[in-house]
Structure 1
């Protein structure tokens, strides 16, 4: 069956493609597993079992009224890994999902995880505080949340072009935007949890090989706020900066990204 049951009874949709060593893809805020179609196709053809999970409130999973904190989201990931009895997993994440993966490792351990790939992560800490001066002011988040509550489609339309590069086709941009599968309450709950979390201590405890890939033209997750500080915290991390790459680098820098992930997994 394409559903597993979380600890609180929430039904979570999952799918897979290919056979071989498992790769588990965790999605951006607002997206279901289809956001990874290009990656799942490419890696399945290279002999991997590619698995996707719709986060609670996203895609075809249930939309409960609670459970959008990182502890619960990490528990949902653990429920899938345990239900499928996965071992030597390569975790591949984008944006919000980076925090899910970090919390999974510190909450459930790394016995089943071989390595981790963080693409444009929102870690380690987004909010500006006295000991995190590079963070973003709370007012910036509150302004976005207010826009979502007034006119979410307008915000998406305005944020679409910066997610890609000028060379990206209009058809590709429309196709990706059409994959958004989330309600406003869930989007707000996940974004607030993401903005208010501090992963700095946890990231120092990561012991699995980790690759971080970030674009230097990322407007959603500025590299100086997220990518570079994350790479500085994870012991032995491999950090790749893509010049000119935006937040949606899995679409705009696809071939390069696939090659870099394959090289990382081959080491």
Structure 2
């Protein structure tokens, strides 16, 4: 069932609510630059096991409103809080992929883990997405600037080029076209502004504020968020579990689909 939730006076987010309403809720935060439909192959399976899957399109993406402003981790986290409160979620599992993982971490820190029982981070763009003088891992800021420039110049080509480094294992052309289409559903400006957040935000101070069981799923061959980011998160989040996906790139949710779903069920059970 799809519907809208108002998170600001002029901003509504599209939400998909799948599975039994009395099931354990799992709230999914998608990555840049796609939308909640990227988790199709989890939504297909988890409700069969009794889980309630809630997918949210972040502002500027998918079917959600596309405001000119508000593309910061703080605002994204506040939007998630508004969804949690509107649905009156309690004891829910928060999961986030790539930029969605970064937003999940900011939610945990900014909203003190409000109603979250467990946290799962998939190829998260954290603790820092871009290289810094004191953090030598991640993308170069110049490469992110190029993504932003290409978003405003030729967004379909940018998405296609970005997709070429997304999956480590071969995927069909049909699948690549489908995934590419998810990116095209987004606002061009929202895509660019979110890339600025990816480039500039720093979550290192947030990690120590996470105090729920946390699993870090990460592709060893990830070319977008290198595996060193997972190791840094693992070191910074007390008691976290690091689950490497040896044959996956950034798109571990599909590269090793069966292992991904199996490990997720094992963690959330």
- Alignment TM-score, normalising by the size of structure 2: 0.94
Paired position in structure 2 for 1:37: 40
Q: d(CA) in 2 for partners of 1:159 and 1:199?
A: 24
Q: d(CA) in 2 for partners of 1:138 and 1:167?
A: 28
Give the conservation status (yes or no) of the 8 Å contact 1:17–1:41: no
Q: d(CA) in 2 for partners of 1:239 and 1:204?
A: 16
Q: Indicate whether 1:93 and 2:100 are aligned.
A: no
Q: Indicate whether 1:73 and 2:76 are aligned.
A: yes
Q: Quote how far apart the aligned CAs of 1:166 are.
A: 4.0
Tell me, what secondary structure is at the counterpart of 2:27?
Answer: strand
Give the conservation status (yes or no) of the 8 Å contact 1:218–1:247: yes
Q: 1:198 aligns with which of 202, 217, 221?
A: 202
Q: Which runs of 5+ in 1 are unaligned?
A: none
Q: d(CA) in 2 for partners of 1:9 and 1:50?
A: 26
Which range moved further: 13-22 or 137-146?
A: 137-146
Q: d(CA) in 2 for partners of 1:69 and 1:42?
A: 32
Paired position in structure 2 for 1:189: 193
Paired position in structure 2 for 1:50: 53
Q: d(CA) in 1 for partners of 2:177 and 2:268?
A: 32
Paired position in structure 2 for 1:14: 15
Aligned length: 265
Q: d(CA) in 2 for partners of 1:95 and 1:177?
A: 16
Q: 1:207 aligns with which of 206, 211, 219?
A: 211
CA displacement, residues 185-226 of structure 1 (integer Å, 9 cap, x when unaligned): 1111001112111111111111011101111111111112x2
Q: d(CA) in 1 for partners of 2:237 and 2:90?
A: 22
Q: Quickly say closer, same or farther: Cα 1:38–1:109, change in 2 above 3 A.
A: same
Q: 1:105 aligns with which of 105, 108, 131?
A: 108
Tell me, what secondary structure is at the counterpart of 2:211?
Answer: coil
Q: Quote how far apart the aligned CAs of 1:8 are.
A: 4.0
CA displacement, residues 64-115 of structure 1 (integer Å, 9 cap, x when unaligned): 1111111111010000000000011111110001111111111112241010
Tell me, what secondary structure is at the counterpart of 1:45?
Answer: helix
Q: d(CA) in 1 for partners of 2:100 and 2:139?
A: 19
Q: Quickly say closer, same or farther: Cα 1:106–1:208, change in 2 above 3 A.
A: same
Give the conservation status (yes or no) of the 8 Å contact 2:128–2:202: yes
Q: Indicate whether 1:172 and 2:175 are aligned.
A: yes
Give the conservation status (yes or no) of the 8 Å contact 2:169–2:249: no
Tell me, what secondary structure is at the counterpart of 1:93?
Answer: strand
Alignment of 1:114-153 (within 5 A): 114-153=117-156
Q: d(CA) in 2 for partners of 1:149 and 1:109?
A: 36
Q: Quote how far apart the aligned CAs of 1:135 are.
A: 4.5
Q: Indicate whether 1:219 and 2:249 are aligned.
A: no
Paired position in structure 1 for 2:5: 4
Q: d(CA) in 2 for partners of 1:174 and 1:130?
A: 37
Which range moved further: 169-178 or 36-45?
A: 169-178
Once superposed, what is the RMSD of the aligned Cα atoms? 1.5
